[in-house]
Structure 1
Amino acid sequence: MSNMLQTKTAEEILSTVFKPKEFIIDGLLTQGLYVLAGAQKVRKSWLAMDICLSIATGATVLGRDTIQGTALYLCLEDSHRRLQDRLFQMNAKPIENLHFALVADKIGSGLEEQVETFKKEHEDLKIVVVDVMQMVRSNVESSYGSDYAELIALKQLAYRLNICILLIHHMRKSKDDNPFNMMTGSTGIGGATDGNFALKETKCGSGKAILYCQGRDIEYAELRMHFDTDTMRWIVENEPAPQKSRDNVVLSAIYLFIRERIHFEGTATELVTELKSVTEEVIYPNRVTRDLVQNGYELNKYGIEFKYERVHKGRIIILHYNGERVGSDGRNVTVTQALPDSSQTSI
């Protein structure tokens, strides 16, 4: 029946290898729905343009690496002439994977279909910027229910297409210690998104601002910036916080072990016993299982095939090393340098 709930057990979820989210801007933007809010004339559209240009060319933005792909900019308050002026001022190159549209349908009245069609024509689409959000709103009145309902539709679209949708939005003039409370509209906007960015000038017209960043998949950050009128870009002044160590003892041991052993089938307890041949570190079975499930997708890049299957005696771990499948990008990177550190969590 179509109205039946589709469920998964905790066992299924904990034993499934999911593809990890891909950060198109390191530590800031990944797949999902985000809002960039700022007061009028704060140059948030210049930041949006810089983000699209950087992703389309694979250049850094806000001092962070990007993943190159197609960018779609719905600049719904601009003209082609104004876009040309901005691109010239930013010394942009004539690239073919950055697209602009001056008109788009509204949420629930064709916008989703327009983006889906564009995605079919451009499989490497990474980001869609909507400038501004109000131009695609169907509801004139703002309430928690209407704000949340409309944005959830875009959020589901972003998840379905595996892209980032970034909405440019306005801030109220009223002051608040929490800049996210200054976003126009109800709290339904912030509640529906995966992350929010608030661009707030330290002094009106100073060209200096703080970009407040928060989200489900990003760490809270405050980026102090100034606007460079020579390049027409926001420049981050404070260095990003250093990343936590990515060294993972369990994955290091598994990598060393399976390269020699080639194939292993057994329980997590049996694998822990085998790992004693390559490390003196005390490793627990639940830690081995968790790290393999969480990193199983990435391990494939390093020739390690992983399965977690149920047999008559319980669940067993299957590992196989295939050197021919190791990524050939020419980088001298070990498996633990390339995988996230999950040493602070438990299964």
Structure 2
Amino acid sequence: MNPKLTSALMYAQYHFKVFPLKVNSKSGQVLKSWKEEATTDQDTIMNWFSNTDYNVGVRTGNGLLVIDVDNKNGKNGYQSIEPFLNNFPKTLVVKTANNGWHMYYYVDRPISCKVGLYEAIDIRGEGGYVVGAESVIENKKYFISFDSPIAHANDAVYQFLEKNTKPTKVDSMVYYIHEGERNNYLFKIGCFLQQKGLCDEAIRLCLNKENELRCKPPFSDKEVETIIQSSLKYKKGFIEMKNTMHYEGSYTVTELLDSQEDDEPDIVEDMISVGLTLLGAPQKCGKTFLGLQLSDAIATGKDFLGRKVEKGTALYLAFEDRKTKIKKRLRTMQVEKQDNFIIDILKQDFNYDVESRIQEELKRHSDLKIVIIDTFAKIRKKNDREYESEYKEATFYHELACKYNIAIVLITHVKKEIDTNHPFDGIYGSRGLMAGSDSILVMYKKNHLSKNRQLAIQGKDIPDDELTLHLNERQLLEVVENEIEEDVNENLIKVVNYIVKEKNYVGSHEALCSKLSLPLTGKGLQVLLTSNIDTLQSTFISYEKAERKNKARQMKLTYHGEEED
């Protein structure tokens, strides 16, 4: 048998990877990448060395260390290493073509390659290689001069290696993973790191390093990448940030009263606390403007409707509006540019993962304070409006908000006709949503032609209140002490309120006057409606007059606002 083939197979039996080097060369490469293609596979080795004269390259590292003792160019490595040899364990030694030595040792820790550790002494470790026995350079052969089993390095060898370099710190519990266990070991590590939320690149670096240092023999880079891709298919977890909170626990009253924790501040003073807030308003009442105004206040730290806020990042999930519409509103409101007010433009998605989005934002902005969902109907998973179902739904968002110490605001539609004495009853569904919420805000108009809004406030540990708001020319809501008097015809208000409630009316002007007890004639109502066409359109009401038939002219009033379930 070819002696070089015999030598290569001998190294492979020791689980050391080998590769071919060009004839009469220590560095001439045959393969594209010796680091990736070096192997212990016997069939590959037979193919490389059976009918060739290639020299044998032996990859070091991964548990193999070679002390390279040179004896050339006037330097004598023997003299450098001789004082240490009595304390070194006997091991395999290969005589080199330049009359030097290659001393082979097993090591239990990663050792870097080092040139000139001592005079004429180099170290071949991680990422290195040596020319193997039976190789020939300029008719001079590498051969085994001391045929002994490869020994494990002892303390004397490690002390020798530590000169002029810091030792590598290794966990005393380190152990090697051998064939049959390697794949499962690396896969489990990958899945564990994925579940903990590490980024893909960190997982990739970790598995490659574990493979390099622990797997005996190590996988190829391609094989490790296959394992990495398999572990990345699983859902990535989340690394809890500083503002994640834990609310569970068992305490005596004494312990609670003596505890040193500060009171948890409201996100908006006496209005929105950590937890779930419902914000309800009829269609076209300005709830989106209010939500954007709230987000801007949190991001900038300025007061919201005269109340102090906790400054931080605001995340606005816009499920109803297009990008151009949101942009136009922000410009109208004169919102300044800022990086901690984030708006996601989204489509209706009943499977939308709110928690994953919160986790994603916390990775970028650990000061996240509020998440506003506009509107809640666009992501509700269930159509069931029974109390138990809605309470469970509200509890989910409450617990989610408490877990991450933020406020979650669900914007929702309410009934068009609000009982001013009981505005919270205007929220659609059962009382389950309200029961599971920490605070509830309902904005409404006392009449559909008013420019003023009322904001009713109710919540746990929040005093009940009601604010009168005025929408200014920038579409910002401002608190007013006294209601701004509006010069709107009372008869027109009655007509608008009736049509919004009933949706349409077909009949004569006289009949409508009678139905609503208006102190007008049919002709007077016709004049009133004709002169207020723009006002009617602003409330989504169309007014059509039919051709006169008989004595009374017929007309049609229709409300075109959308109905919400």
- So what's the TM-score if we normalise by structure 1? 0.64
Distance 1:87 1:127 in 2: 18
Counterpart of 1:331?
A: none
Distance 1:94 1:202 in 2: 35
Counterpart of 1:183?
A: 427
Given the alignment of the two structures, is residue 149 of structure 1 paired with residue 371 of structure 2, yes or no? Answer: no
Residues 164 and 175 (structure 1 numbering): CA distance in 2 closer, same or farther, change over 3 Å? closer
Which of residues 355, 377, 388 in structure 2 aligns to 1:134? 377
Please state how far the C-alpha of 1:122 moved relative to its aligned partner: 1.1
**8 Å CA contact 1:180, 1:198 repeated in 2:** yes
Residues 191 and 104 (structure 1 numbering): CA distance in 2 closer, same or farther, change over 3 Å? farther
Counterpart of 2:21?
A: none
User: C-alpha offsets along residues 258-297 of structure 1, whole Å, 9 cap, x if unaligned?
Assistant: xxxxxxxxxxxxxxxxxxxxxxxxxxxxxxxxxxxxxxxx
Q: How do 1:216-227 residues align onto structure 2 when only pairs under 5 Å count?
A: 216-227=460-471
**8 Å CA contact 1:74, 1:104 repeated in 2:** no
Given the alignment of the two structures, is residue 34 of structure 1 paired with residue 311 of structure 2, yes or no? Answer: no
Given the alignment of the two structures, is residue 197 of structure 1 paired with residue 454 of structure 2, yes or no? Answer: no
Counterpart of 1:173?
A: 416
User: C-alpha offsets along residues 41-76 of structure 1, whole Å, 9 cap, x if unaligned?
Assistant: 100111111010111111222122223211000011
Residues 66 and 35 (structure 1 numbering): CA distance in 2 closer, same or farther, change over 3 Å? same
Distance 1:129 1:109 in 2: 14
Given the alignment of the two structures, is residue 206 of structure 1 paired with residue 450 of structure 2, yes or no? Answer: yes
Where structure 1 has 5 or more consecutive residues not aligned to the other structure, the ranges are: 240-347
**8 Å CA contact 1:35, 1:166 repeated in 2:** yes
Given the alignment of the two structures, is residue 94 of structure 1 paired with residue 337 of structure 2, yes or no? Answer: yes
Distance 1:104 1:193 in 2: 25
User: C-alpha offsets along residues 89-116 of structure 1, whole Å, 9 cap, x if unaligned?
Assistant: 0111111110011227968762222212
Residues 45 and 165 (structure 1 numbering): CA distance in 2 closer, same or farther, change over 3 Å? same
Given the alignment of the two structures, is residue 121 of structure 1 paired with residue 370 of structure 2, yes or no? Answer: no
**8 Å CA contact 1:104, 1:136 repeated in 2:** no
**CA-atom RMSD in angstroms:** 2.0
Given the alignment of the two structures, is residue 164 of structure 1 paired with residue 403 of structure 2, yes or no? Answer: no
Aligned-partner residue type, residue 215 of structure 1: G
**8 Å CA contact 1:107, 1:153 repeated in 2:** no
Aligned residue pairs, count: 234
Aligned-partner residue type, residue 20 of structure 1: D
Aligned-partner residue type, residue 425 of structure 2: N
**8 Å CA contact 1:112, 1:154 repeated in 2:** no
Distance 2:275 2:309 in 1: 16
**8 Å CA contact 1:104, 1:111 repeated in 2:** no
Residues 223 and 233 (structure 1 numbering): CA distance in 2 closer, same or farther, change over 3 Å? same
Distance 1:114 1:129 in 2: 12
Counterpart of 1:16?
A: 259
User: C-alpha offsets along residues 92-151 of structure 1, whole Å, 9 cap, x if unaligned?
Assistant: 111111001122796876222221222232111111001111112110221111111111
Aligned-partner residue type, residue 207 of structure 1: K
Distance 1:37 1:108 in 2: 22
Distance 2:479 2:417 in 1: 26
Q: How do 1:264-343 residues align onto structure 2 when only pairs under 5 Å count?
A: none
Counterpart of 1:300?
A: none
Identity %: 30
- So what's the TM-score if we normalise by structure 2? 0.40
**8 Å CA contact 1:105, 1:111 repeated in 2:** no
Distance 1:106 1:157 in 2: 19
**Greater radius of gyration (CA):** 2
**8 Å CA contact 2:273, 2:438 repeated in 1:** no
Distance 1:14 1:82 in 2: 50
**8 Å CA contact 1:23, 1:66 repeated in 2:** yes
Counterpart of 2:354?
A: 111
Given the alignment of the two structures, is residue 74 of structure 1 paired with residue 314 of structure 2, yes or no? Answer: no
Distance 1:188 1:86 in 2: 33
Distance 2:330 2:352 in 1: 31
Counterpart of 1:242?
A: none
Please state how far the C-alpha of 1:174 moved relative to its aligned partner: 4.2
Distance 1:123 1:151 in 2: 24
Report the secondary structure of 1:86's partner residue.
Answer: helix
Distance 1:83 1:109 in 2: 21
**8 Å CA contact 2:299, 2:341 repeated in 1:** yes
Counterpart of 1:318?
A: none
Aligned-partner residue type, residue 460 of structure 2: R
Residues 58 and 135 (structure 1 numbering): CA distance in 2 closer, same or farther, change over 3 Å? same
Aligned-partner residue type, residue 341 of structure 2: L
Where structure 2 has 5 or more consecutive residues not aligned to the other structure, the ranges are: 1-247, 483-565
Distance 1:137 1:42 in 2: 22
Please state how far the C-alpha of 1:224 moved relative to its aligned partner: 0.8
Distance 2:412 2:377 in 1: 7
Please state how far the C-alpha of 1:6 moved relative to its aligned partner: 5.5
Report the secondary structure of 1:220's partner residue.
Answer: strand
Distance 1:181 1:141 in 2: 18
Please state how far the C-alpha of 1:25 moved relative to its aligned partner: 2.0
Counterpart of 2:490?
A: none
